[in-house]
């Protein structure tokens, strides 16, 4: 029985970590690399979930729906950065408090729009695999969590390749490191940041589809993910994509083991306990700062 | 630039004030009865708040259409409390001292009512509670009345029916699963006490923080304990995750009965989305379409409500909350008509001694302002089809198994068999 409980707890934790990873990857770019505290990111994930739900009602698989809406989110992300740039960065007023206020306001407006357009009831997605499990010996893995886990890995791998192997990706990392140097070589830091925001928002679309596969959503559920996603990014090492994946999996794993052997009430504290422990031992996070 | 004299400024200010205040003055002159309350239109419990407000507006339209209450039109002064208890004291102070409303309804929900009740008791005001639990248990405010059918001393007793059913079935052991939120934690604590009182063994209490999505670990712990039955007190997101979790992880053969106080699966969205996965669950409800619950006016109300709900994007089934919010209006109207006044002391006195006929049946209040008898029903989902909310508009998919007086069938056990 102990082996069964432990092995299932480990697998469930890793799967849950996949969901946390996909929810955090956008922040790895905006907060981890660009140092812009986009607290609206979880609300954009909820928007992604609502768009997914709409397309799912038309018969599309939730994950496919997430991919379809991603380009629109990319454009939306670019527009969001442009608004932020015009309001703050261009005027040299992009300090943390003002950025935080701006994105908090964006999150509130978005939440109200969701309420007005879609109502306040829970929304769920429908797919043949929801409610079923993959059974491997004594281990049962819910597809409801396998799918977000797989999405998290794919998005994480894609983002890592993009940031390390493409010119735009390298430009985004360069702007995080030294925007003046980027300007000297003839590239526009604003353009690079605009792309970065677009990509971060694309991940929100896909994360939304993963979230609604895992559980129903309402317009307010984004607030549940703010602390956890920021904790993952800091724990990972600011801007590190592999670190985000590992950090999210570690938090998921610890939460699951705590739920099984200690008590579920303690589980949400795990993210912050792990963060504090990591910062005490290794202040730059698991993988170090990646800018 | 021309300077404005102090007198001119004063006159302009008075004129502007009069202009701004005119609509309010005219409205007051019309001598309407003003009922004030806050209700969640945004935030975590907004889905219930919006459905409740829709029902209250239906009552207001009906009473005004019939010539008003005591010949006066009824007007609502409503604020959105954003589902946050911190907003409530300010709103109710404004309702009493600035808006000077004639009658007060409590906010929707326990946490929000908790913070306004001391003020109402202190000012000795009439209050109609809207789905709070146990907030008058200690205060014993004699002008408080609750619309929900929890019954006397609800803090300790509202979920007793589920345990009565378990006792009748001869079950001896239970696992309690609950969210660490006010309503669920209170239900779990009350359930634990009742189980003890009935000589049942509480094998374990599995509690978790709100909005958890993965219940694999908790369900494995439930299975490892091999209980006779499981009492769950969860909120909507968690209820859905738990129902999915059972399909994914499975449930121990020992479990005869599963459910209890799962919030959310009473609403159209979850009934439609969870569909056949609900089969076998025994859960609380306030109203179920059944021969034993055919009250005058309820069917017509639900038909009218459905059309409104579809327009407003709210719970289209409307069994759980809306009829009781509407009944709240009927309670006020009955007391006002019987006493021919909106004198709160007279209305309260009358309500303590007279039953009121409503669309949810006759309501008789006990000394603590709650229904004199607990009339919650526990229904078992049977043969539920996927993606079909309309199946719940007629009898047969939710078999009432408790209380015996309203039962429409016997419970099917064990849970695994009932699920199949």
Q: Whole-angstrom Cα distance, residue A214 to residue A209?
A: 9
Number of H helices, E strands in chain B: 14, 14
Helix (H) or strand (E) holding B332: helix B322-339
Residues of B with CB under 8 A from a CB of A: 41-44, 46-47, 50, 180, 206-209, 211-214, 216-218, 220-221, 224, 236-237, 240-241, 244-245, 247-250, 264, 267-270, 273, 277, 312-315, 387
Residues of chain A under the 50 pLDDT cut: none
pLDDT computed for residue B214 by the predictor: 85
Supply the pLDDT for residue B29.
Answer: 43
For an interface test with B, the pick among A117, A263, A264 (most B C-beta atoms closer than 10 Å) comes out as: A264
Q: Which residues of B195-230 are buried (b: 16+ CB within 10 A; e: fewer)?
A: beeeebebbbbbbbbebbbbbbbbbbbbbbbebbbb
Structure confidence at residue B27 (pLDDT) = 45
Q: Return the ∠ at Cα B90 (arms to B88 and B96), rounded to 5°.
A: 100
CB contact (8 A) between residue B47 and residue A120: yes
Residue B195 DSSP SS3:
helix
Interface check for A82 against chain B (CB to CB < 8 A): the answer is no
A119, B43: Cβ pair inside 8 Å?
Answer: no
Phi-psi category of residue A273: left, alpha or beta, with phi > 0 → left and psi -120 to 50 → alpha: alpha
* Ordered alpha helix ranges (H), B203-321: 216-225, 236-249, 268-274, 298-312
Residue A259 contacts B where some CB pair is shorter than 8 Å: yes
Nearest CA in chain B to A252: B214
- The minimum CA-CA distance between B87 and chain A, rounded to whole Å, is 17
- Substitution target from A4, A43, A108, A122 for chain B, most B beta carbons within 10 A: A122
B356 three-state secondary structure: strand
DSSP strand pairing (B127-130 vs B144-146): parallel
Q: What phi and psi values does residue B397 have, to the nearest 5 degrees?
A: -95, -15
* DSSP-assigned beta bridge partners for residue B192: none
Three-class SS of B157-188: HCCHHHHHHHHHCCCCEEEEEEECCHHHHHHH
Is A221 near chain B, with CB under 8 Å?
A: yes
Which among B46, B224, B240 has CB closest to A5? B224
Question: Splitting chain B (420 residues) into consecutive groups of 10 residues, what average pLDDT does each group show?
Answer: 62 60 48 96 88 98 97 97 93 97 96 94 97 92 97 94 98 95 88 97 91 86 96 92 92 97 93 95 97 97 97 94 98 98 97 98 97 97 95 96 97 95
Residues linked to residue A219 through DSSP beta bridges, in sequence order: none
The packing angle between helices A2-27 and A223-236, to 10°, is 90
CB-nearest partner of A5 from B41, B213, B220: B220
Look at residue B6 in the predicted model and tell me its pLDDT: 63
C-beta separation of A240 from A32 below 8 A: yes
pLDDT (0 to 100) of residue B220? 92
Length in residues, chain A: 291
Asked if A130 and B224 come within 8 Å (Cβ–Cβ), the reply is no
What is the end-to-end Cα distance of chain A in Å, rounded? Answer: 46
Residue in A111, A121, A131 nearest the CB of B244: A131
Is the predicted ipTM greater than 0.95, yes or no?
Answer: no
Please state, in angstroms and as integers, the Cα–Cα distance from residue B290 to each residue in B151, B341, B393, B407, B408, following that order.
21, 37, 10, 9, 7
Whether the Cβ atoms of residue B172 and residue B185 lie closer than 8 Å to each other: no
Q: Is the CB of A180 inside 8 Å of chain B's CB atoms?
A: no
| pLDDT at position B261 | 96
pLDDT for A261 = 87
> CA-to-CA distance for A64 and A203, rounded, in angstroms?
13
Give yes or no for a cis peptide into B414 (omega within 30° of 0).
Answer: yes
- Tell me the HSE value of B324 on the side-chain side, using a 13 A CA sphere: 25
Cβ neighbours of A268 in B, within 8 Å: 209
A114 touches chain B (CB under 8 A): no
pLDDT at res. B124: 97
């Amino acid at each position: 029985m102990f082996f069964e409980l432990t092995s299932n707890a480990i697998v469930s934790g890793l799967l849950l970590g996949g969901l946390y990873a996909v929810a955090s990857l956008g922040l790895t770019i905006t907060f981890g690399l660009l140092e812009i505290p986009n607290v609206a990111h979880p609300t954009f994930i909820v928007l992604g979930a609502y768009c997914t739900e709409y397309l799912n009602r038309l018969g599309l698989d939730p994950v496919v729906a997430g991919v379809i809406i991603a380009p629109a989110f990319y454009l939306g992300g670019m527009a969001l950065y442009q608004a932020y740039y015009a309001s703050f960065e261009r005027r040299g007023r992009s300090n943390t408090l003002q950025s935080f206020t701006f994105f908090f306001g964006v999150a509130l407006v978005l939440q109200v729009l969701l309420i007005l357009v879609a109502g306040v009831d829970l929304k769920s997605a429908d797919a043949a695999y929801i409610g079923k499990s993959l059974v491997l010996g004594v281990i049962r893995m819910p597809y409801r969590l396998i799918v977000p886990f797989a999405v998290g890995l794919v998005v994480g791998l894609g983002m890592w390749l993009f940031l390390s192997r493409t010119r735009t990706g390298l430009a985004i990392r360069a702007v995080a490191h030294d925007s003046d140097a980027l300007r000297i070589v003839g590239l526009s830091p604003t353009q690079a940041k605009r792309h970065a925001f677009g990509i971060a928002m694309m991940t929100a679309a896909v994360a939304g589809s993963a979230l609604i596969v895992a559980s129903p959503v309402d317009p307010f559920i984004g607030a549940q993910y703010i602390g956890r996603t920021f904790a993952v990014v800091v724990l990972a090492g600011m801007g590190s994509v592999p670190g985000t994946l590992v950090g999210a999996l570690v938090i998921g794993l610890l939460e699951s083991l705590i739920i099984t052997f200690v008590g579920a009430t303690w589980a949400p504290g795990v993210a912050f306990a792990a963060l504090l422990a990591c910062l005490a031992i290794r202040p730059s996070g698991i993988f170090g700062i990646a800018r | 630039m021309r300077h404005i004299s102090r007198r001119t400024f004063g006159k302009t200010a008075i004129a502007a004030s009069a202009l701004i205040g005119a609509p309010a003055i005219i409205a007051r002159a019309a001598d309407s009865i003003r009922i004030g309350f806050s209700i969640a239109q945004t935030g975590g419990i907004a889905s219930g708040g919006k459905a409740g407000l829709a029902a209250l507006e239906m009552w207001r339209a009906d009473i005004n259409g019939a010539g008003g209450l005591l010949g006066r039109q009824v007007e609502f002064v409503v604020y959105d409390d954003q589902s946050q208890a911190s907003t409530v004291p300010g709103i109710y102070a404004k309702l009493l001292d600035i808006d000077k409303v004639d009658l007060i309804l409590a906010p929707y929900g326990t946490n929000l009512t908790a913070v306004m009740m001391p003020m109402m008791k202190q000012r000795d005001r009439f209050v109609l509670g809207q789905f709070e639990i146990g907030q008058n248990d200690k205060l014993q405010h004699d002008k408080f009345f609750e619309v929900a059918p929890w019954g006397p001393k609800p803090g300790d007793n509202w979920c007793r029916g589920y345990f009565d059913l378990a006792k009748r079935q001869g079950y001896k052991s239970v696992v309690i699963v609950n969210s660490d939120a006010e309503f669920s934690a209170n239900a779990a604590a009350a359930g634990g006490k009742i189980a003890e009182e009935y000589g049942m063994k509480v094998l374990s209490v599995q509690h978790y923080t709100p909005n958890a999505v993965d219940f694999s670990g908790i369900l494995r712990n439930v299975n490892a304990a091999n209980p006779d039955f499981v009492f769950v007190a969860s909120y909507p997101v968690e209820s859905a995750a738990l129902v999915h979790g059972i399909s994914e992880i499975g449930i121990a053969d020992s479990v005869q009965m599963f459910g209890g106080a799962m919030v959310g699966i009473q609403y159209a969205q979850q009934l439609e989305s969870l569909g056949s996965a609900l089969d076998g669950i025994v859960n609380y409800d306030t109203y179920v379409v059944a021969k034993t619950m055919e009250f005058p006016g309820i069917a017509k109300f639900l038909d009218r409500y459905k059309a409104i709900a579809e327009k407003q994007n709210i719970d289209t089934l409307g069994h759980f909350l809306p009829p009781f919010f509407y009944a709240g209006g009927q309670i006020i109207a009955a007391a006002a008509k019987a006493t021919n006044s909106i004198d709160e002391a007279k209305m309260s006195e009358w309500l303590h001694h007279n039953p009121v006929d409503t669309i949810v049946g006759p309501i008789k209040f006990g000394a603590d302002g709650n229904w004199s008898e607990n009339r919650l029903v526990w229904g078992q989902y049977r043969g539920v089809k996927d993606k079909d909310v309309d199946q719940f508009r007629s009898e047969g998919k939710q078999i009432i198994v408790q209380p015996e007086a309203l039962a429409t069938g016997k419970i099917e056990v064990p849970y695994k068999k009932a699920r199949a």
